[in-house]
Structure formats: C-alpha cells, structure tokens
Amino acid sequence: KAKQYITDGDVFQVVLSQQFHLPVSASALEVYRVLRSVNPSPYMYLLECEDQEGHPYHVVGSSPEALVTVYQRRVVSHPIAGSRPRGATPEEDQAHAASMSRDLKEQAEHLMLVDLARNDLSKVCAPGTLEVSQFMEVERFSHIMHLVSSVEGELTPEATSVDVFEAAFPAGTLSGAPKPRALEIIDELEPCQRGVYGGVVGYFGHSGDADLAITIRTVWMRDGLAIVQAGAGIVADSDPDAEYMETIHKASAPARAIAIANALEPDAR
C-alpha cells in the first residue's frame, strides 16, 4: 500500500515501523546498564515518566541520531539513512559498508533526506550560511552501520532553539517526504500509535542552546512489558523483505539488552 502511494505521487518516501513486544523481568536501570554495554551510542538515557492517567513507565534508550543541536547559535542536523548489519569479521564488515555506500537506492533515499534537512533548517538559518559539512559517511555501531550526513548553519537573529525544533520536528528520517502527507500515510497504515518512538529526548538551555536526540533504539517499559519499535524508509524500488529485515536489525540491540538484563536480574520488577 505504501508503494502504491509512492507510485501515485503522494510521497517520495514514507517510513513505516513495527513494534516488538517483549517480556521484561529486569528493572529499567538494569536494562539501561546492559544497553550502555551492548550498544554504546552518542545519546544514552533512562527516564521515569507518567502517562496522562498517572501510571508510571520507563523509557530506556541508546539513540545514534540527533534531531538538531544548537550551540552558540549554530544549528546542526545529522540525517541518518541507509543501513547494514555489522559483519562477523573485519572483511565482512567492510564488504557491508561498501555495499551500502554503492547502493543506488540507499544513495537516493539519503540524498532525499539531506535535502529535507536543508529545507527544514532554511526556515531558521541566515541566507548563505547553510551547508552540508559531512556527506554519506559510514558510521558504525554495535549491531548496525549507517550512512550519515551533517547539515549546519547559523541561526537568524530572531530565531530561537524552540523555532529550530518546530522547523525540524518530526524528523524526516522517521517520517518521509513530503512530511505532511507521509505522516497521514503513517497514521493510516501503522496499526498502533508510535508513543515515544520518533519523538525526542534532550534539553533546551537558558543560554539558547539545545541538544535533542531522536528516540530510536529505545525501549518503553511498564508492568513486565517492553516495547521496542523500529522502522524502514519505503521508496519506489524498495524490497519489502529487505525493509522488514532492516527493522529487525535496528531493534536487535535493545532486544538483546532486554534478554541479557532478564537473565542477570530474573526476579526484579
């Protein structure tokens, strides 16, 4: 159905995700401790929250991707698109990286999301300051590797970090392009609300700085249930089986952390 919308011209890309429901006996702290070990990432977090009815839940995450960072009025976005599992040997790992870098579908998808990031930041950056400072470089994590770019610019005098958030959220890498129609298609095709998945964790500082991580590679926990959600970008020439496996690879690190934490702390709640 998503590919039909693309064929019909509704969108160029839409990011569809699925949820993995896992039993968890370990505490959120233990899951976080294990996740730090098995999947160290630029953003690590453990949050204790309440829903609208006052019921507690935990969010444990190891996100590799920032929505935006703002430091001394310079804003940076790091779109991630394109993935491969890590190889079992250095040679296999390098082969996976080369395959990803040469893949025309991955290149097209990545370029589309870099353009989307440039468009988002152009709303809050001074003319002539926006640049792509890093383009389609391979970055490796414990279970997966990605193609990563950096888009950055100087804020206009009147723009604030909140304006940057409003311009960039939700991330194109978690929604698609164009964003408004992609979000409508996601709402139609995904059977469950995303909850924390695809949101942000971070801060807005009194100085005007901000650092906002996208909540991916993240576990939602309550009452013995853990939910991990992962998605893949669908484009015109996507292979459904390959996109499905991409979601499995992306969810593997949090799922492994839960399994290890359960084994280490079997009676905890």
Please list the active-site residues.
146, 173, 197, 217, 233
Encode burial over 10-43: b for 16+ CB neighbours within 10 A, e otherwise: bbbbbbbbbbbebebbbbbebbbbbbeebbebeb
Cβ-based neighbours of 169, under 8 Å, separated by 6 or more: 67, 200
Q: Is 38 helix (H, G, I), strand (E, B) or coil?
A: helix
Determine the longest span between alpha carbons in the chain, in angstroms: 58
Q: Are 144 and 250 in contact (CB under 8 A)?
A: yes
Give me the residues paired with residue 84 across strands: 145
